[in-house]
Structure 1
Amino acid sequence: MRALIFVAIAVVIGIAGYFLYRQSATTTPSTGMFAEAPPPVLPVAEDCTVANAVYEYNEDARLRLRFEAINQGDGLDVYDERFRTPGNVNIVIQVTSTQTNYTFAPDNAFLPQGPKYQTLASYFRPAAGGARVRVSLFDSTMHAINDMPRYDSIAPAYVYMPDAFASLYAARIDLPPGAFRFQSCAQPTPAPAP
């Protein structure tokens, strides 16, 4: 008889424990001392326009890149035979330690021939003078962007311009190879008056 009572008590305790377990599994977890914080929401380049995009070189805040609007004159766009639009922004690389800006203007003379991979690069010329530099733009999935950057277009996630560092090397700024990566979406730079 005693064994039957112990078995009945064990069954009741087991059922009560099961119901307590089910109830605690369906409630929201408590925010205790060791609760995990949600991961931070990182900015995405596709949610930003070229005018507002801010980039850092290899996630190093000492070298930043922004696009700056240029005066378009009559506002008419000219297309080449591959329907590429001309760029209407300068690329400005800022060395934050010296507050020095290096400006590169778009070179809208598109290549009419040559291997296909050459059409996936845009070309810019240093404002201080010199040979044009190759600039490759990529979205967040690392697909090449074939169009020149425009003030109101979607910002690329990566800007790769290794030839631009000749100007920086002359100023004794020596950096490892890398690309400018989208960091934030800031206020736009004002467009110059016509």
Structure 2
Amino acid sequence: MTDTGLKLVILDRDGVINQDSDAFVKSAEQWQPLPGSIEAIAELSRAGFTIVVATNQSGLARGLFDLDDLEAMHAKMAQLVETQGGSVAAVFYCPHGPDDACNCRKPKAGLIDAIEAEFDTSAQGVPLVGDSLRDLQAGISKGCSPVLVLTGKGLKTQQALKDHPELAHTAVFDSLQDAVPHIKAIYG
């Protein structure tokens, strides 16, 4: 891998960018951005960061939605970011269920491996923003800098951090929008 000078930011999707649902987000209509998340992505993009989304989407394996539905959700997200003057460089997703023994379902690092390969760069030191323990664990396993947002499952995850010393230095923010100044200052 080469150092391309790329300023990468890896974002989880559900609970970070859009409202999460225990019943799964199954359509573009159900995909609703969290307050300030679209503006936050656009601000990071305009500041020269390459925004990549890494998301578990087991609803595909469960038959709750199909690939066209997933692509429509991601097209909606990308279009909203574009209207704010930013862009999402790529979306990487795991289509498998929790029992499929794949390498791409977070907390495994397969999605981050794919991001490194696609962008010919290392994720070492790259901020990875998530709301769940498995997001942060996937990032830590690849040397990413974990950033927890308290949206989605974030409050529950914050309570669990004390049981995970490897995540002791996780930066914690109320939302993706609140994390932007930190990301720009530390990684810009």
Q: TM-score, normalised by structure 2?
A: 0.24
Give the number of the structure whose alpha-carbon radius of gyration is greater.
1
